[in-house]
């Protein structure tokens, strides 16, 4: 938890004043700092935030997440001003695939359907047939006609999980989320030994051997639903530690433990209240996507949102 001191309170009041003045909507991913989640208008996973960004009537969208998320908002809402409080908040996994490399792979495979995780750049989305999130990946893969070859980009772990659940052969791009991929089966065994009665909730970006040990495999929003509906009182969480804030807020009578302290995304923690305030003051940094890329990427995102 963060300390609620006078400085924090003053910052909060100024941010809320600026938000109203700018007619802005503040979106926060579950992995953000607790104080960012608490001041946001909406906290969610990638799919929920994309849908919220697409339907808002606010003039300004402030995306407290990483760069590809703000790009997606800019693609879906070209008439809005889309801001990110720290433009250096990126995603190493998104950087593991480039537009040029994807084009080359498509030529090599020929006549292939490209399913791309939303954790990717606008340029990569523009070369994709349909995007997905961890919340709807299985549904998206199942929607591809069985006679079609599938290339899944860029997360090999999420693609492997979808392949198993949908019973489809999938060509996997060799990318991964370093936060989730770093978690090992041995790490999980050690945590389960420490908390033997706890249910294990695992994100599908984790390695297959970790997923196999789970009581629940789900997106961040899916994990939260599971914990809320479960009769269990203790849970081990195998995803980025920022989500603990929502688990504890929504379930004050239950106990939640992060499986390992390595489950920390440095980029997700770059945004703070000072940067959020300055962003609203200056209406910068702004995230923009060229119209040529935006139109092509929009098709794959709209298919994702409809799924």
- E strands present in the chain: 24-29, 42-44, 60-64, 81-83, 112-117, 130-132, 149-153, 171-172, 199-202, 216-217, 234-238, 255-258
- Chain centroid to CA 112: how far? 25
Number of C-beta neighbours around residue 261 at 10 A: 8
CA distances for 198 relative to 49, 202, 214, 227, 275, angstroms: 29, 13, 11, 11, 37
Task: Tell me how many helices (H) and strands (E) the chain has.
Answer: 15, 12
Strand partners, 64: 28
CA angle 255/38/221 to nearest 5° reads 55
167 backbone φψ class: left, alpha, beta (φ>0; ψ -120 to 50): left
Q: What's the confidence (pLDDT) of residue 258?
A: 98
Q: Could you tell me where the DSSP H helices lie in 92-168?
A: 99-109, 122-126, 137-143, 156-166
- The length of the chain, given as a count of residues: 307
Asked if residue 84 lies in contact with residue 285, where contact means CB atoms within 8 angstroms, the answer is: yes
Tokens of 21: 């003045």
What are the pLDDT digits (tens) for 274-299?
999 999 999 999 999 999 999 999 99
Identical fold for domains 6-90+268-289 and 183-261, yes or no, is yes
The string of DSSP letters for 81-94 reads: EEE-S-TT---TTG
- Closest by CA to 119, choosing from 87, 97, 151, 141, is 97
Phi/psi for 115 (5° steps) reads -105, 120
Q: What's the confidence (pLDDT) of residue 6?
A: 84
Q: What's the confidence (pLDDT) of residue 3?
A: 65
Q: What's the confidence (pLDDT) of residue 221?
A: 93
Architecture per CATH, 94-176+293-306: 3-Layer(aba) Sandwich (3.40)
Measured in Å, how far apart are the chain's first and last C-alpha atoms? Answer: 36
Domain boundaries, the chain: 6-90+268-289, 94-176+293-306, 183-261
- One digit per residue, the tens of pLDDT, for the chain of length 307 reads 566 788 889 999 999 999 999 999 999 999 999 999 999 999 998 878 878 988 899 999 999 999 999 999 999 999 999 999 999 999 999 999 999 999 999 999 999 999 999 999 999 999 999 999 999 999 999 999 999 999 999 999 999 999 999 999 999 999 999 999 999 999 999 999 999 999 999 999 999 999 999 999 999 999 999 999 999 999 999 999 999 999 999 999 999 999 999 999 999 999 999 999 999 999 999 999 999 999 999 999 999 888 7
Strand partners, 234: 255
Strands across the sheet containing 42-44: 42-44, 24-29, 60-64, 81-83
Asked if residue 132 lies in contact with residue 117, where contact means CB atoms within 8 angstroms, the answer is: yes
Q: What's the confidence (pLDDT) of residue 50?
A: 78
CA distances for 258 relative to 82, 100, 135, 214, angstroms: 32, 38, 21, 14
Q: What's the confidence (pLDDT) of residue 307?
A: 72
CA distances for 263 relative to 58, 67, 100, 184, 230, angstroms: 34, 20, 31, 11, 23
CATH superfamily of 183-261: NadA-like (3.40.50.10800)
Domain 6-90+268-289 has CATH 3.40.50.10800: yes
């Amino acid at each position: 938890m963060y300390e609620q001191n006078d400085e924090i309170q003053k910052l909060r009041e100024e941010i809320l004043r600026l938000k109203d003045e700018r007619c802005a909507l503040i979106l926060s991913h579950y992995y953000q700092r607790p104080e960012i989640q608490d001041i946001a208008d909406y906290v969610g996973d990638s799919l929920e935030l994309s849908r919220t960004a697409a339907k808002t009537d606010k003039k300004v969208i402030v995306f407290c997440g990483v760069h590809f998320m703000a790009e997606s908002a800019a693609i879906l809402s070209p008439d809005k001003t889309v801001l990110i409080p720290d433009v250096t908040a990126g995603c190493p996994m998104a950087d593991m695939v480039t537009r040029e490399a994807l084009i080359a792979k498509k030529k090599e495979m020929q006549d292939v359907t490209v399913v791309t995780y939303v954790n990717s750049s606008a340029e990569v989305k523009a070369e994709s047939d349909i995007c997905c999130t961890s919340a709807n990946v299985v549904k998206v893969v199942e929607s591809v006609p069985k006679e079609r070859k599938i290339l899944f980009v860029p997360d090999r772990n999420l693609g492997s999980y979808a392949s198993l659940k949908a019973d489809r052969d999938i060509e996997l791009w060799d990318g991964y989320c370093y936060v989730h991929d770093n978690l090992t089966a041995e790490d999980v065994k050690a945590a389960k030994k420490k908390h033997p009665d706890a249910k294990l909730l695992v994100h599908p970006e984790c390695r297959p051997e970790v997923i196999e040990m789970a009581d629940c495999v789900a997106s961040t929003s899916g994990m939260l639903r599971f914990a809320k509906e479960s009769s269990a009182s203790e849970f081990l969480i195998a995803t980025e530690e920022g989500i603990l804030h929502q688990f504890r807020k929504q379930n004050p009578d239950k106990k939640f433990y992060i499986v390992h302290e390595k489950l920390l995304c440095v980029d997700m923690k770059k945004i703070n209240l000072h940067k959020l305030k300055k962003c609203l003051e200056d209406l910068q940094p702004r995230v923009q996507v060229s119209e040529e890329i935006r139109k092509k990427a929009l098709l794959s995102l709209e298919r994702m949102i409809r799924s």
